[in-house]
Amino acid sequence: NAGVTQTPKFQVLKTGQSMTLQCAQDMNHNSMYWYRQDPGMGLRLIYYSASEGTTDKGEVPNGYNVSRLNKREFSLRLESAAPSQTSVYFCASSDGGTGNNEQFFGPGTRLTVL
Amino acid sequence: RKEVEQDPGPFNVPEGATVAFNCTYSNSASQSFFWYRQDCRKEPKLLMSVYSSGNEDGRFTAQLNRASQYISLLIRDSKLSDSATYLCAVNKRDSSYKLIFGSGTRLLVRP
């Protein structure tokens, strides 16, 4: 099992460009999440999908959109990148429901916006 | 006040030392608690869940204090390989599955 995979690993964008970060999980998890991590700020939730067909805003959704393509895949789109979106982006998944709900993370995408 | 707070450290300890970290949370209704380990430039990896009765995994012991609203992680006989950032995570008030992460405590184990 690959667990949670993310592409690309690295990306450099110019201000105003758009891109989509891809995430897939093979653990048959119901819930998926997108976080950003900045120095001193910890992990902040951007968007999440509790189950296939649903998406909701997290703590810092502005400037982002998401698509839960199917149970396995959850993508994050930056429509018009800004330097403030320079960060490391992590996708995670969990079983969802009322269990212990530990989350498992992908390797991350390092994004620089110039 | 942040929902989940950790001392950023760094905690600088010699090999073989015992070190403990605390993590305080503000939501008394939180049900799920976790410790994650994050190596430099890597993703967070689940270290252990924290149960009401406390739990132990080798050199690592996690405890929950509901009355004072904190969780703790104790590492005995520290190894050089324990050097990392340790993140605590607590489930969010309005959902059983969303987690709020602390900013992490950095541990440096020196020879």
Residues of B in Cβ contact (< 8 Å) with A21: none
Query: What is the reported pLDDT for A68?
Result: 96
Average pLDDT across chain A, whole number: 93
Work out the average pLDDT over A77-87: 96
- Which residue in A46, A49, A90, A102 has the most chain B C-beta atoms within 10 A of its own C-beta, making it the best mutation to test that interface? A102
Query: What is the reported pLDDT for B1?
Result: 73
Work out the average pLDDT over A48-68: 94
- Residue A99 banded pLDDT, cuts 50, 70, 90: low
Kindly list the residues of chain A whose beta carbon comes within 8 Å of any beta carbon in chain B: 31, 33, 35, 40-43, 45, 48, 50, 58, 90, 94, 96-98, 100-108
Instruction: Give the DSSP per-residue string, chain A.
Output: ---EEEE-SEEEE-TT--EEEEEEE-S--SEEEEEEEETTTEEEEEEEESSTT--EE-S--TTEEEEE-SSSBEEEEESS--GGG-EEEEEEEE--TTS----EE---EEEEE-
- Residue A76 banded pLDDT, cuts 50, 70, 90: very high
Residues of B in Cβ contact (< 8 Å) with A100: 32, 49
Are B32 and A100 in contact (CB < 8 Å)?
yes
Are A31 and B97 in contact (CB < 8 Å)?
yes
Percent of chain A whose predicted confidence (pLDDT) is above 90? 83
Neighbours of A31 (CB within 10 A): 24
Query: What is the reported pLDDT for B93?
Result: 62
Query: What is the reported pLDDT for B81?
Result: 97
For B104, which residue in chain A has the nearest alpha carbon? A42
Query: What is the reported pLDDT for B75?
Result: 98
pLDDT in tens, B19-39: 999 999 998 888 889 999 999
Query: What is the reported pLDDT for A1?
Result: 74
Are B97 and A100 in contact (CB < 8 Å)?
no
CA gyration radius, chain B: 13
The stretches in chain B having pLDDT less than 70 are 93-96
Are B43 and A102 in contact (CB < 8 Å)?
no
Which residues 40-99 on chain B approach chain A with CB closer than 8 angstroms?
42-46, 49, 87, 89, 91, 95-99
Are B43 and A50 in contact (CB < 8 Å)?
no
Of A31, A40, A101, the CB nearest to B103: A40
Which of these ranges, A45-49, A106-110, B48-52, has the smallest mean pLDDT? B48-52
Are B97 and A45 in contact (CB < 8 Å)?
no
Report how far residue A104's alpha carbon sits from residue A91's, in angstroms, rounded to the nearest whole number.
8
